[in-house]
Structure 1
């Protein structure tokens, strides 16, 4: 299974915010730190905000911060939300697969997809930003590692 670029970027955004929590960061700074175009990051942040994972505040002292839901989300749940409920393969598209009525592959792929998500259900943001990743993230954003 392959994740979309938007999901990959969203995971990196929440990891960056988790590593710098509780200090907010700006979308422009995160985009620069992650070396991605600001416009791409802004779309991802808007999606994370709609999902209730990130809050944005304007003005002085504003920026991006994880919400309580964002701090507690598992990677499996977040990836499910970002990727949607679609199948791994397209069976019903413009030219439907002629095997769709009797296909066993579709079911096997759904099971594999769920196994993939389930394996991420036990992983939290805190797990992702534990050493050695957290200190590297802090280095990317120009903040010295704690301790």
Structure 2
């Protein structure tokens, strides 16, 4: 299974903010540190803010800050939110699959997808920034 770029970026933004140590980097700072376009980062930040996982303050003294809900958020829940609940394969597309009425593949892939998400459910954002990841994230951010 391959994650969408927005899912990957959302997880990296949360990880970066989890090790910010009280600083409030801007969306531009985070985009530069993660080497992604600002517009992509801004869309992801807006969705994370909508999910109440981070706070974004504008103006002087503003920036991004992880909320307590963001720190304890399940990685599985974040991935589900960004990936959506669609099927792994598109059986109903422009050319519907002729096996659609009796295929077992779709169900098996759906079960595998759910097992993937379930394996991420017990892992929190705080868990994924423990050593050695946290110090590495701070080192990357310091270079920007």
- TM-score bucket of the superposed structures, by smaller chain: over 0.9
**1:17 paired residue number:** 17
SS at match of 1:55: strand
**1:86 paired residue number:** 86
Distance 2:47 2:97 in 1: 32
Distance 2:82 2:22 in 1: 24
**1:45 paired residue number:** 45
**1:31 paired residue number:** 31
Q: What TM-score results when the alignment is normalised by the length of structure 1? A: 0.92
Distance 2:112 2:81 in 1: 17
- Identify which range, 66-75 or 114-123, moves more after superposition: 66-75
RCO greater where, 1 or 2, for CA within 8 Å and sep 6 or more?
2
In the alignment, is residue 95 of structure 1 matched against residue 95 of structure 2? yes
Give deviations 1:51-80, integer Å, cap 9, x for gaps.
221211011221111122211111001100
What does 1:61-72 align with in structure 2 at a 5 Å threshold?
61-72=61-72
**1:117 paired residue number:** 117
| C-alpha contact (below 8 Å) 1:52/1:70 kept by paired residues | yes
Number of residue equivalences: 143
Q: CA RMSD in A?
A: 1.3
Runs of 4 or more, structure 1, over 2 Å off, are: none
Instruction: For structure 1, list consecutive stretches of 5 or more residues without a partner in the other structure.
Output: none
**1:132 paired residue number:** 132
SS at match of 1:65: strand
